[in-house]
Amino acid sequence: GAGVSQTPSNKVTEKGKYVELRCDPISGHTALYWYRQSLGQGPEFLIYFQGTGAADDSGLPNDRFFAVRPEGSVSTLKIQRTERGDSAVYLCASSPGGMSGYTFGSGTRLTVV
Amino acid sequence: KNEVEQSPQNLTAQEGEFITINCSYSVGISALHWLQQHPGGGIVSLFMLSSGKKKHGRLIATINIQEKHSSLHITASHPRDSAVYICALQGAQKLVFGQGTRLTINP
């Protein structure tokens, strides 16, 4: 597609539930990033994929968070046993790699009630 | 200490004023990005800099690698420029973001 697509744009879930957030990057972009942005803060790194593999998952806050990119294109961020503190905007970005720029999606606003 | 610091955190100005937003950092980088984020919207990439200066319309970005400092300037500011402007450092792989500067331009 023309840009990075994230779905859903908004998600409200109950505490303890499981959620999946989807990112569809620009076709051909090998690098894909997930960031989390809390209100009034800058985005914080979660995980980075190069192709199908997670090249750096050091930003995932705990083992409730997991992400996959099985075919090197679409990625899914999975959050188990959601907590109210998980409420944030989850941003996805993709890049051709190297010193190329990034294209960001519009984000998924997750609210855990 | 944060690797990247932006100032000011909030800036309110009148339409037409010249705007400067600053970004200082403490680590080695391969590039620095300036990004724009509108309320409820996604992030738009404005500039990627590794040296010198870039200009796009009314926006100018400069970087001094030796001093580890970058500035974003907006000339003839307009209310539609109201947004959060974020400085982000590019290392080997991921971006490290500043906290952003919330800019409000009043008509």
Average pLDDT, chain A: 93
pLDDT higher than 90, residue B40: no
pLDDT higher than 60, residue B27: yes
pLDDT tens-digit map of B55-104: 999 999 999 999 999 999 999 999 999 999 999 998 877 889 999 999 99
Average pLDDT over residues A17-42: 94
Confidence at residue B22, expressed as pLDDT on a 0 to 100 scale = 98
pLDDT higher than 60, residue B16: yes
pLDDT higher than 80, residue A44: yes
Which chain A positions have a beta carbon within 8 Å of B10's beta carbon? Answer: none
Which chain B positions have a beta carbon within 8 Å of A102's beta carbon? Answer: 33, 45, 95
pLDDT higher than 90, residue A99: no
The angle subtended at Cα A5 by Cα A94 and Cα A73, nearest 5°, is: 55
Is B94's Cβ below 8 Å from some Cβ in A?
A: yes
- The pLDDT > 90 percentage for chain A reads 84
Average pLDDT over residues B45-62: 95
Is B96's Cβ below 8 Å from some Cβ in A?
A: yes
* Residue of A76, A87, A95, A23 lying closest to B88 (CA atoms): A95
Rounded distance between C-alpha atoms, residue A14 and residue A63, angstroms: 19
Average pLDDT over residues A27-48: 92
The residues of A whose Cβ lies within 8 A of any Cβ of B are 31, 33, 35, 40-45, 48, 50, 55-56, 59, 91, 93, 99, 101-107
Confidence at residue A101, expressed as pLDDT on a 0 to 100 scale = 82
pLDDT higher than 80, residue A61: yes
A33 to chain B: nearest residue by CA? B94
* Residue of B82, B30, B32, B29 lying closest to B53 (CA atoms): B32
pLDDT band at A63 (very low <50, low <70, confident <90, very high): very high
Rounded distance between C-alpha atoms, residue A111 and residue A51, angstroms: 30
Beta strand pairing status for B95-97 and B83-90? Answer: antiparallel
pLDDT higher than 80, residue B1: no
Is B27's Cβ below 8 Å from some Cβ in A?
A: no
